[in-house]
Amino acid sequence: MRAQVAAIALPTLVIAGEHDPVTTVDDARWLQGQVAGAQLASVPASHLSNVEAAPAFTACLRAFLLA
């Protein structure tokens, strides 16, 4: 998958859980750097950020979609 990431040509938001030991914020930064124009947001959560920090996750997603 890593080899194909640079081919993404769509608006992209990468949301990282600040306490995620599996997919770290550094991993998210790498992904952001590979996708042209990608945005990065982080939320105070672990691996299930959309569940663990639902309001923060939703706020990030809403801001991205409405921008």
Cα–Cα distances in angstroms (integers) from residue 42 to residues 3, 58, 62, 64, in the given order: 24, 11, 14, 13
pTM of the model: 0.91
Mean pLDDT of 60-66: 98
pLDDT score, position 14: 98
pLDDT score, position 1: 77
Q: For residues 6 and 34, is the Cβ–Cβ distance under 8 A?
A: yes
Q: pLDDT tens, 1-36?
A: 778 999 999 999 999 999 999 999 999 999 999 999
